[in-house]
């Protein structure tokens, strides 16, 4: 009945949805922000620990959400560790493109390996009502890096 949904719900997504990585509170976080999708009630709190050079030393999150938003947040925290703020913003921008269109023209250049890891989420572009689920964590990341406390994926 749902075989054609395996593109959206790839095994890696179901896995990260069930067992999100870095799903914890960072007590000594330098930055944190809350992401809300008021439409569906998805909510996450993102924590960042910054290195002296401003790069992301550690990233973690807590919250509740669907498989897509949880998997996206989980994969994001894995992907942005060790990245500079500029790289993290660039990843956020490319991920948004990937989620909305299913393709990422810039992925062949730098950060290609990181984008490859996020590729399983590209299937959401066929589900307009679900794109926000995938991008909520990244909106929240941008907010945290910019020092804002809240992000909304409205």
Partner 1 sequence: MSFDIQCIRQDFPILQQQIRGKPLVFLDSGASAQKPRAVIDAMVRCMEERYANVHRGAYFLSEAATEAYEAARGAVARFINAADPREVIFTPNSTAAINLVAHSWGRGVLRPGQAVLISEMEHHANLVPWQMLRDEGRGIELRVARVTDAGELDLEDVAAKLADGKVGLVAITHMSNVLGTVTPAERLVRMAHDAGAKILFDGSQAAVHRRVDMQALGADFYAFTGHKLYGPTGIGVLWARLEHQERMPPFLGGGDMIAMVTIDRTEWAAPPAKFEAGTPPIIEAVGLHAAVDYVSAIGMPAVEAHERRLVDHAMRRLSDIESLGLLGRAQDRGGVFAFSLDNAHPHDLATLLDRAGIAVRAGRHCAEPLHTRFGMEGGTVRASFGLYTTEGEIDYLAEALSKAREFFA
Segment 69-108, which members bind partner 1 (CB under 8 A)? none
Computed on alpha carbons and rounded to an integer, the radius of gyration of the chain in Å comes to: 14
CA angle 71, 141, 90 (to 5 degrees): 95
Interaction of residue 4 with partner 1, rule CB under 8 A: yes
Q: In this structure, are residues 66 and 12 in contact, taking their beta carbons and an 8 Å threshold?
A: no
Q: Please identify, among the stretches 28-36, 92-100, 106-114, 126-134, the one whose residues bind partner 1 according to the rule CB under 8 A.
A: 126-134
Interface region with partner 1, contact rule CB under 8 A, candidates 37-45, 49-57, 111-119, 134-142: 37-45
For 69, phi then psi, to 5°, come to: -70, -35
Q: What are phi and psi of 59, to 5 degrees?
A: -140, 140
- Give the count of beta carbons closer than 10 Å to the beta carbon of residue 142: 18
Binding mask 42-71 for partner 1 (x = CB under 8 A): x---------------------xxxxx---
Q: Does 14 bind partner 1 (CB under 8 A)?
A: yes
Closer CB to partner 1, 9 or 23, in the complex = 9
40 binds partner 1 (CB under 8 A): yes
The single residue listed with the structure tokens 């929240």 is 140
CB 47 within 8 A of CB 143: no
Least spacing, CB of residue 35 vs partner 1, in Å: 15
Residues of this chain that interact with partner 1 (CB under 8 A) are: 1-2, 4-5, 8-9, 14, 17, 39-42, 64-68, 127, 129-130, 133
């Amino acid at each position: 009945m749902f075989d054609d949904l395996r593109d959206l719900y790839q095994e890696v997504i179901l896995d990260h949805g069930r067992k999100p990585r870095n799903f914890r509170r960072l007590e000594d976080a330098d930055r944190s922000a809350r992401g809300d999708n008021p439409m569906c009630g998805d909510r996450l709190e993102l924590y960042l620990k910054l290195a002296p050079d401003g790069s992301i030393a550690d990233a973690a999150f807590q919250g509740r959400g669907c498989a897509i938003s949880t998997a996206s947040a989980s994969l994001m925290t894995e992907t942005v560790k060790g990245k500079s703020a500029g790289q993290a913003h660039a990843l956020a921008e490319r991920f948004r493109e990937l989620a909305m269109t299913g393709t990422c023209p810039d992925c062949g250049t730098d950060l290609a390996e990181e984008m490859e890891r996020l590729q399983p989420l590209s299937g959401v572009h066929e589900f307009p009502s679900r794109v926000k689920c995938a991008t909520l964590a990244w909106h929240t990341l941008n907010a945290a890096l910019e020092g804002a406390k809240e992000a909304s994926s409205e």
